[in-house]
């Protein structure tokens, strides 16, 4: 297959460039050094790519076999509103990711790893641009009072704390977050993009293949540093330990699981032909993939600690340590990394605000659970507003002071700030109300 390159209107394109100058100031440095770090890869370009030759018929849902919509107005009303929310949320995540990564990009110890993240940020910019192209290239008046340009401005005005999905409102504390986010959260992105590749809205489906190709690099930008750090930790490095990596995983995996939406939902997406899987099914596949990722990282630790052993023996040691939780060949269960229970530290979905421990144990007392969280989350993260806001809601839920639904939709309040969109001339409220209902998120909806 081949791709067609397109651009959004010049005024909006220039607004994205202005946004890039603010939140991705190292962009020119990346381009100048592109051939040094990525000599065999196509040079980055800010544009939208549409894959040619994609399937013309709806591939799942109630209207399977019918022609895909090429214009928004051809979509059924409910499907169109659902899709528009998903496109806006997708765009928000792409730009939000850049804002997060910029916080700790300069803290990388390795220049190559830093450039990998910088390239990932540029490609996230292109992914956001791709979604803005969908908003500005079509007429969404049937589903929204806002024009395409107004929706673009709204998205470019978002800051960390006002993005639609919770994972993109969490500050990074160190470069360990940069890598762990790529390995876990971008992996969720891969699932979302793969599912949207069959979208009943053909322009959405055509946007996915190139984004998926770029997303594969983003996963490596996270996985490879984690492997390297575990190998160094096995040799006694004090810079990034397995405990640091474990706590970063504990911080991000719950947010990744929530990005799939409520475990009871997803049927609307399937029915409308926008995605082929319900939320729980996609989340289950994701968990298995992350389990494999963690096993591979642990194998790197074992092979680095015991370089003389075979791969088969290393696997035997790993299996024995994990299953029996005892020290084998000098390697303890605590030396390796493990996945937290899927109910641990959740604020959305079925396990929202449960007092569920790292290994799935239950707590009866909120204060006892808070002490448990202190043991398993990064110190710098616990000092931030996201954790503070979570604890405030947790206490309110278990004291009966707030309904669970309200707590699930709540997010930290932001103060009034100037519009960060370069095309905005006004001062606006970035966040003035709770998150929209889960049904506006990609893949999220109330259970049927």
DSSP-derived 3-state class of residue 332: coil
185, 259 contact by CB (below 8 A)? yes
Residue 436: pLDDT over 80: no
Which pairs with CB-CB distance under 8 Å and at least 24 residues apart come from 202-206? 202/54, 202/56, 202/68, 202/69, 202/70, 203/50, 203/70, 203/134, 203/137, 203/138, 204/83, 204/87, 204/134, 204/274, 205/51, 205/54, 205/55, 205/68, 206/50, 206/51, 206/52, 206/54
How many C-beta neighbours within 10 Å does residue 213 have?
A: 14
**Predicted structure pTM score:** 0.91
Q: Which CATH class is domain 3-335?
A: mainly alpha
Tens digits of residue pLDDT in 167-185: 788 899 999 999 999 999 9
89 and 444 Cβ atoms separated by less than 8 Å: no
Q: Tens of pLDDT along 68-89?
A: 999 999 999 999 999 999 999 9
Task: Work out the pLDDT band at 412, boundaries 50, 70, 90.
Answer: low
* 49/20 Cα distance (integer angstroms): 19
Domain ranges for the chain, please list them: 3-335
Q: What is the pLDDT of residue 202?
A: 98
Question: Residues with Cβ < 8 Å from 238, sequence gap 6 or more?
Answer: none
Q: What percent of the chain has pLDDT over 70?
A: 91
pLDDT digits (tens, 9 = 90+) for 136-163: 999 999 999 999 999 999 999 988 777 7
Q: What was the pLDDT predicted at 158? A: 87
User: 105-109, 290-294, 339-343, 408-412: which has the minimum mean pLDDT?
Assistant: 408-412
């Amino acid at each position: 297959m081949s791709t067609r390159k397109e651009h959004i209107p010049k005024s909006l394109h220039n607004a994205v460039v202005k946004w890039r100058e603010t939140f991705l100031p190292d962009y020119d440095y990346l381009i100048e050094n592109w051939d040094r770090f990525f000599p065999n890869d196509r040079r980055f370009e800010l544009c939208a790519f549409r894959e040619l030759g994609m399937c013309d018929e709806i591939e799942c849902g109630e209207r399977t076999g019918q022609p895909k919509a090429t214009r928004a107005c051809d979509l059924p009303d409910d499907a169109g509103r659902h899709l528009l929310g998903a496109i806006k949320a997708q765009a928000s995540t792409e730009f939000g990711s850049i804002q997060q990564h910029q916080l700790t990009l300069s803290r990388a110890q390795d220049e190559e790893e830093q450039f990998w993240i910088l390239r990932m940020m540029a490609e996230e910019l292109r992914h956001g641009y791709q979604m803005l192209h969908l908003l500005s290239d079509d007429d969404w008046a049937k589903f929204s009072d806002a024009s395409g340009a107004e929706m673009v401005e709204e998205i470019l005005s978002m800051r960390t704390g006002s993005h639609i999905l919770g994972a993109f409102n969490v500050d990074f504390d160190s470069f360990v977050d940069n890598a762990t986010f790529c390995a876990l959260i971008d992996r969720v992105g891969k699932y979302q993009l793969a599912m949207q590749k069959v979208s009943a809205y053909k322009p959405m489906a055509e946007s996915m293949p190139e984004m998926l190709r770029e997303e594969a690099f983003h996963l490596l930008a996270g996985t490879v540093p984690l492997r390297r750090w575990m190998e160094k930790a096995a040799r006694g490095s004090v810079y990034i330990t397995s405990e640091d990596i474990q706590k970063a995983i504990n911080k991000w995996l719950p947010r990744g699981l929530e990005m799939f939406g409520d475990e009871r939902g997803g049927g609307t997406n399937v029915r409308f032909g926008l995605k082929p899987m319900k939320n729980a099914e996609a989340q289950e596949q994701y968990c298995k993939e992350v389990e494999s990722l963690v096993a591979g990282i642990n194998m790197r630790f074992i092979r680095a600690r015991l370089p003389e052993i075979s791969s088969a023996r290393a696997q035997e040691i790993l299996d024995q340590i994990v299953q029996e939780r005892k020290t084998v060949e000098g390697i303890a269960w605590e030396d390796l990394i493990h996945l937290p229970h899927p109910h641990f530290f959740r604020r959305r979905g079925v396990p929202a605000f449960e007092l569920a421990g790292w290994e799935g144990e239950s707590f009866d007392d909120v204060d006892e659970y808070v002490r448990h969280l202190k043991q398993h989350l990064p110190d710098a993260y616990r000092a931030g507003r996201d954790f503070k806001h979570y604890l405030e809601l947790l206490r309110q839920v278990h004291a009966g002071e707030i309904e669970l639904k309200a707590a699930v939709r709540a997010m930290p309040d932001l103060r009034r700030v100037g519009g960060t969109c370069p095309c905005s001339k006004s001062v606006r409220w970035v966040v003035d109300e709770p998150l929209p209902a889960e049904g506006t998120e990609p893949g999220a909806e109330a259970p049927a």
